[in-house]
Chains A and B, each alone.
Chain A
Amino acid sequence: MKDVKTPPSAEGRGDTVSRRSLLGAALAAVTLAPGITLYAGPAAAAADGAKRWGLLIDTTRCDSGCSACVTACGAEHGWSDAGRARPDQAPQWVRKVDVRDPATGRTASLPIMCQHCAKPPCVDVCPTGASFKRADGIVLVDRHICIGCRYCMMACPYKARSFVHEPVTGQRPGSPRGMGTVEACNLCVTRVDAGGRPVCVDACAGAGRSAILFGDLDDPGSAISRRIREVAPARIRDDLRLDTGVYYQGI
Chain B
Amino acid sequence: MTGVRTLLIALGLAAAAVTGVLAAGEGTAPSPAFRQWPGECVADAPFMRRNHMDLLKHQRDDTVHGGIRPANHSLNACVTCHAVKGDDGHPVTVADSRHFCRTCHDTTAVRVDCFSCHTSTPGVAK
Q: Are A and B co-members of a single complex?
A: yes
Q: How far is the CA of A47 from the CA of B4 in the complex (A)?
A: 21
Q: How far is the CA of A173 from the CA of B77 in the complex (A)?
A: 10
Residue of A nearest to B18 (CB): A33
Q: How far is the CA of A102 from the CA of B6 in the complex (A)?
A: 58
- CB-contacts of A26-52 with B (<8 A): 26, 29-30, 32-41, 43-47
Residues of A within 8 A of B47 (CB): 33, 35-36
Inter-subunit contact A36/B67 (CB<8 Å):
no
Q: How far is the CA of A47 from the CA of B69 in the complex (A)?
A: 10
Residues of B within 8 A of A193 (CB): 67, 69
Residues of B within 8 A of A11 (CB): 1-2
Inter-subunit contact B6/A26 (CB<8 Å):
yes
Inter-subunit contact A39/B117 (CB<8 Å):
no
- CB-contacts of A162-181 with B (<8 A): 167-168, 170-174, 176-179, 181
Given contacts A11-B1, A173-B124, A177-B117, are A134 and B10 in contact (CB under 8 A)? no
For A36-78 the 0/1 string (1 means CB < 8 A from B) is: 1111110111110000000000000000000000000000000
For B112-125 the 0/1 string (1 means CB < 8 A from A) is: 00001111001110
- CB-contacts of B23-57 with A (<8 A): 41-44, 47-48, 55
Interface of B is mostly: helix
For B51-74 the 0/1 string (1 means CB < 8 A from A) is: 000010010101011111111010
Inter-subunit contact B76/A173 (CB<8 Å):
yes
Q: Which of A33, A41, A135, A136 contacts B21 (CB 8 A)?
A: A33
A9 on the B face (CB < 8 A)? yes
Q: How many A-B residue pairs have CB under 8 A?
A: 134
Inter-subunit contact A36/B43 (CB<8 Å):
yes
Q: Which size bracket describes the interface of A in this complex?
A: 35 or more
Q: How far is the CA of A18 from the CA of B13 in the complex (A)?
A: 20
Residues of A within 8 A of B10 (CB): 22, 25-26, 29, 36, 39-40
Q: Which of B41, B43, B70 contacts A44 (CB 8 A)?
A: B70
Q: Which of B7, B13, B118 contacts A171 (CB 8 A)?
A: B118
A232 on the B face (CB < 8 A)? no
Q: Which of A8, A30, A177 contacts B2 (CB 8 A)?
A: A8
Stretch at the interface among A93-101, A139-147, A213-221, A235-243: A139-147
Inter-subunit contact A7/B65 (CB<8 Å):
yes
Distance from B31 Cβ to chain A, minimum over Cβ atoms (Å): 17
Inter-subunit contact A22/B43 (CB<8 Å):
no
Q: How far is the CA of A202 from the CA of B17 in the complex (A)?
A: 45
Inter-subunit contact B11/A10 (CB<8 Å):
no
Inter-subunit contact B66/A47 (CB<8 Å):
yes
Q: A38-B13, A143-B117 are in contact. List 6 more A-B contacts (CB 8 A).
A: A36-B13, A38-B42, A39-B58, A45-B68, A134-B67, A172-B123
Binding site for A on B (CB under 8 A): 1-4, 6-7, 9-11, 13-14, 17-18, 20-21, 41-44, 47-48, 55, 58, 60, 62, 64-71, 73, 76, 116-119, 122-124
